[in-house]
Structure 1
Amino acid sequence: MKKILNSEVLLKGGDSASRAIALQIADATLTRLDSYHRIRSIMRLEGDQLRIGTKSWDLSRKRNIYLVGAGKACNHMAMAVDHVLGERLTRGIAIVKIAEETDRFNKTEVYVGGHPLPNEEGYRASKEILKLVEGAGPDDLFIAVISGGSSALMSCPRDGITLQDEIDATDILLKSGAGIYEINAVRRHISALNGGMLAKRIAQVGAELIGIGISDAVGTPATGDISQPYLAYKSTPIGPDATTLDDARATILNFNLEDKLPRRIVDFLVSAGAEEETPKAFPNNTYYLLNTLPDSCIYAKEACDELGISSMIVTSFLEGESKDAGTFMASLAREIQAYGNPIKPPCVLLSSGEVTTQIQDSSAIKGHGGPGQEMAVGFAIAAAKAPGACLLSIDTEGTDGTTSVAGGITDSTSLSAARSHGVDLYQALREHSTFEALEKIDSAIFTGNTGTNLCDLNIVFVPALERKL
């Protein structure tokens, strides 16, 4: 397999026949989503002409060409642009979550930012990007590559708010039970770069901006022809922001955060006027959208078709508590095996979205994990009653939660396997130590950087029950 690097170990960790199907589908999907190849398929340099899809730019008319980027898929995205431009690139700055030994750049500096919590290196890189923009003018071109995770990685709080304030706020928001829209409403309005503020600064100096993005927002429609400029591009540092100051204030109120968030952040958001609102339109920018969240399910379904396995997309809007989502997927598997609803077995159920894990008391944390791993453990407990059923749940960018693994894979044998290894899966959920539990039963998935970032991908394989005569 190209993307799942420890597949041999995973096949030994449970029902190998069921796991093999889920792993093969996941690997094919991740391979197709790799942003390096997506960008190279639409971007090329012909003499002085930079061609991106259906548009072209005469680089002889540009003084400087800058590449800036951030996100969990930024390694592959920035490499693609860097490799196309070669010596034409003046300078590049990429903020990534994990730097890989296989990353190769010509003129791009790589910084390892913090995710899910911002860090000092991401802050330094953001300051360097600000310097680039401040020194630019109307004859300069910025190409920005942005994927999910940029809000934390490109951390640059506005004046009056400290980096530590932003770190603390991010930690509190992620544990509050708030959805990503509510979390971003706060984060974007306290940032000097996010929520479209980077694009606003580029526009203010008169430079041109080409944005290339991956959207991990729940509800964004599937991509069509990626060679066509995308007119409805939203959010992230380079596009118009859909959230508002009122959304940020509502998040504080609805999740009882007034006495939990740093005082400077609360005071700013409560008192901020209309002049502090994030930008809502950039009609002069050119944007390309490589992939959106529904694409992973669509590509996975096509992989199922190639394998000759019936499949259905359950939802690309999956949100809520991760372990409960796992329990629900196991209940679907039981329904399918018992009654053939909503699809007859053998079959594959596909879903994508962004489940979350609510942690009300940080002192309860005794290990490591992430939503995908908690979903897999929740499934394992309930799927003991669905023979052969298997769930693969990953964060498609390659790191789930606070770990270096992409997620987990469990099946109907995982609960008994855990017990035989002295692992209590119920306790692992209570103590948020699902990584340690899954690792002990050879069920933690390792990919490294995948080149994409479309939140969660969940693949459930449900075999037919053997009928006794």
Structure 2
Amino acid sequence: MKKIRNAKELLARGDVESRRMVLSILEQVLQRMDSYNRIKDIAKLDGDVLQIGTKKINLQEKKRIFLLGAGKACNSMARAVEDILGDRITKGIIIVKVLEPTEKFKYCEVVCGGHPLPNEEGLKAAEAILELVEQADANDLFISVISGGSSALMSCPVQSISLEEELKVTDLLLKCGANINEINAVRRHISQVNGGRLAEKILAKRAELINFIISDSVGAKPTADRSRPCFFQGTPVARDQTTIKDALNTIKKYRLAAEVPKAIMDYLEAEDESHETPKELEGRVSHFVLDKVPDSCEVAAAVAREMGIPSMTLTTYLEGESREAGIFLASVAREIQTNHRPLATPCVLLLAGETTTKIEKNEKCGKGGPSQELALGFALKAELVEGVCLGALDTDGTDGPTDAAGAIADAKTAARARSIGLDMYKATLEHSSHSFFDGLGDCLYTGTTGTNVCDLNVLYIPNKREA
């Protein structure tokens, strides 16, 4: 089944040949990075022995098996575990962002949590997970499937903080331009489950914990070996590298102290060591990392080689303002096509990371997402580069609060917008990138993809056409 659901429609307009190149690469990246296949590649059941890569677990020694998870890609991850273990799973609870009509689960209770803002359903599911953990003992096995988005989806603030107060601080952090590490530093320290708290509670029961993880942390190196347990930090099931001081510094940096709910400030400022997240986890815990942010560029580069097109990974650390990043990419494309540096045309540039969109107070804000806004910034200048095309994709399939995964923009985008009366500059100022690309029919739609490694940008620069 195709991942990009509207590829046919996208190839009916704009610079078709350039779009075909970009869409082919994006499609193959999503196909190859689907976590269902990643898990099935390294895990199998042989009689009573569950083998995950180099690790073997005798299930005869386990009384119960619990499957827990949260994240924008945990749908596919949980289905893989269900298909491997079947009725050996005692109970499962997973919290997803979107549940597709075709996705069926036999052994898991599936809840749609809130993302990027948490909701009541996610809170109740997280509380149910904690109840499962409370009844565990040393003979139990927990298998967790965790991907990006788990901090919001598995929302469970400490008892002195309400869900409404957590919603308030999350909204402030998202709009002020804070990056994901800064946002997580705050969220982890007001949570009963995040920042390693869930693992801490499981290991306190002396149960065994196996984690399948997709990391959406910008700054990691590519995955080396999926078959071996590895060191990992972050998420609800691994130790936390951030501190309460980091959380307070984030609030101070963005001048939010006066707006952050008092209960949250009181909790963070209390001199109580129990409020700090675990920096070490004692007990039987193994992490299997399926993919990281740079892996999308690794896969895309391999696809480009197979297609016979030179490529360059420009960065896997892309951060900053989405619109400005898009304008920058258009300028790089122009340099390449005009002066053939840093490489000659035709070629593909690959960039991964996570840009953000800052919304000023009282600023008019339409509907959009960081990838769509990046594509909109690119479209502002792309008209100057013949045949250029950019696919800006949030790899989990949902860009910001929209149901689009991103957008495609090419050298013809500006002219097409003018021809139907779409104001590109107004859309930029009002952060209404989704409405703009939806009006052009140029949003990318995938539904859940089975992966979640932040954003991937594929930029194709063809030869300059002869006059």
TM (normalized to structure 1)? 0.98
Which digits, 9 at most, give the CA deviation of each residue in 1:399-432, with x for residues without a partner?
0011001000000110111111111111112112
Distance 1:251 1:172 in 2: 11
Distance 2:362 2:149 in 1: 22
Give the aligned partner of residue 189 of structure 2: 189
1:239 is matched by which residue type in structure 2? A
The number of equivalent residue pairs is 466
In the TM superposition, residue 82 of structure 1 has moved relative to its aligned partner by 1.1
Which digits, 9 at most, give the CA deviation of each residue in 1:298-357, with x for residues without a partner?
100000001000110000000000010000000000000110010100100000000000
Which digits, 9 at most, give the CA deviation of each residue in 1:103-125, with x for residues without a partner?
12221010000000000110010
Which digits, 9 at most, give the CA deviation of each residue in 1:165-203, with x for residues without a partner?
111111110011111111110000000000000000001
2:302 is matched by which residue type in structure 1? E
* Pairs within 5 Å for 1:15-26: 15-26=15-26
* Pairs within 5 Å for 1:69-84: 69-84=69-84
Distance 1:268 1:425 in 2: 44
Distance 1:43 1:417 in 2: 49
Give the aligned partner of residue 89 of structure 2: 89
Instruction: Work out whether residues 337 and 464 of structure 1, in 8 Å CA contact, stay in contact via their aligned partners in 2.
Output: yes
Give the aligned partner of residue 340 of structure 2: 340
In the TM superposition, residue 272 of structure 1 has moved relative to its aligned partner by 4.0
Deviates more, 1:450-459 or 1:12-21: 12-21
Give the aligned partner of residue 352 of structure 2: 352
Distance 2:84 2:102 in 1: 17
In the TM superposition, residue 274 of structure 1 has moved relative to its aligned partner by 2.5
Deviates more, 1:447-456 or 1:266-275: 266-275
For the aligned residues, what is the CA RMSD?
1.0
Structure 1: segments with no counterpart, 5+ residues: none
1:425 matches 2:427 = no
Give the aligned partner of residue 279 of structure 1: 278
Give the aligned partner of residue 433 of structure 2: 434
Give the aligned partner of residue 361 of structure 1: 361
Instruction: Work out whether residues 4 and 444 of structure 2, in 8 Å CA contact, stay in contact via their aligned partners in 1.
Output: yes
Give the aligned partner of residue 55 of structure 1: 55
* Pairs within 5 Å for 1:119-158: 119-158=119-158
Instruction: Work out whether residues 352 and 454 of structure 2, in 8 Å CA contact, stay in contact via their aligned partners in 1.
Output: yes
Give the aligned partner of residue 260 of structure 2: 261
* Pairs within 5 Å for 1:234-245: 234-245=233-244
Q: In structure 2, the residue corresponding to 1:388 is in which secondary structure?
A: coil
2:369 is matched by which residue type in structure 1? G
1:457 matches 2:456 = yes
Give the aligned partner of residue 445 of structure 1: 444
Instruction: Work out whether residues 353 and 454 of structure 2, in 8 Å CA contact, stay in contact via their aligned partners in 1.
Output: yes
Q: In structure 2, the residue corresponding to 1:66 is in which secondary structure?
A: strand
1:431 is matched by which residue type in structure 2? E
Instruction: Work out whether residues 64 and 140 of structure 1, in 8 Å CA contact, stay in contact via their aligned partners in 2.
Output: yes
Give the aligned partner of residue 325 of structure 2: 325
Instruction: Work out whether residues 13 and 441 of structure 1, in 8 Å CA contact, stay in contact via their aligned partners in 2.
Output: no
Give the aligned partner of residue 379 of structure 1: 378
Q: In structure 1, the residue corresponding to 2:291 is in which secondary structure?
A: strand
2:190 is matched by which residue type in structure 1? I
Taking structure 1 as reference, are residues 290 and 250 closer, same or farther at Cα in structure 2, changes over 3 Å only? same
Give the aligned partner of residue 166 of structure 1: 166
**Matched residues, percent identical?**
50
Distance 1:467 1:13 in 2: 22
Distance 1:402 1:106 in 2: 29
Structure 2: segments with no counterpart, 5+ residues: none
Distance 1:362 1:337 in 2: 40
2:194 is matched by which residue type in structure 1? N
Give the aligned partner of residue 66 of structure 1: 66
Give the aligned partner of residue 309 of structure 1: 309
In the TM superposition, residue 360 of structure 1 has moved relative to its aligned partner by 1.3
Distance 2:264 2:424 in 1: 38
Distance 1:202 1:169 in 2: 28
Give the aligned partner of residue 295 of structure 2: 295
Q: In structure 1, the residue corresponding to 2:330 is in which secondary structure?
A: helix
Instruction: Work out whether residues 317 and 353 of structure 1, in 8 Å CA contact, stay in contact via their aligned partners in 2.
Output: yes
Distance 2:100 2:56 in 1: 32
Q: In structure 1, the residue corresponding to 2:8 is in which secondary structure?
A: helix
Instruction: Work out whether residues 368 and 431 of structure 2, in 8 Å CA contact, stay in contact via their aligned partners in 1.
Output: yes
Q: In structure 2, the residue corresponding to 1:169 is in which secondary structure?
A: helix
Distance 1:305 1:280 in 2: 42
Instruction: Work out whether residues 96 and 113 of structure 1, in 8 Å CA contact, stay in contact via their aligned partners in 2.
Output: yes
Give the aligned partner of residue 205 of structure 2: 205
Distance 2:300 2:393 in 1: 13
Which digits, 9 at most, give the CA deviation of each residue in 1:232-286, with x for residues without a partner?
2111000000111110010011110101211111121122432311011225311
Distance 1:28 1:381 in 2: 28
Which digits, 9 at most, give the CA deviation of each residue in 1:7-26, with x for residues without a partner?
01111231111111000000
Distance 1:419 1:466 in 2: 23
Which digits, 9 at most, give the CA deviation of each residue in 1:30-61, with x for residues without a partner?
10000000001111111111111111111111
1:413 is matched by which residue type in structure 2? K
TM (normalized to structure 2)? 0.98
Instruction: Work out whether residues 386 and 465 of structure 2, in 8 Å CA contact, stay in contact via their aligned partners in 1.
Output: no
Distance 1:343 1:280 in 2: 44
Q: In structure 2, the residue corresponding to 1:175 is in which secondary structure?
A: helix
Distance 2:424 2:137 in 1: 57
Distance 1:272 1:140 in 2: 35
Give the aligned partner of residue 403 of structure 1: 402
Distance 1:432 1:213 in 2: 32
Instruction: Work out whether residues 229 and 286 of structure 2, in 8 Å CA contact, stay in contact via their aligned partners in 1.
Output: yes
Distance 1:360 1:242 in 2: 30
Instruction: Work out whether residues 402 and 434 of structure 2, in 8 Å CA contact, stay in contact via their aligned partners in 1.
Output: yes
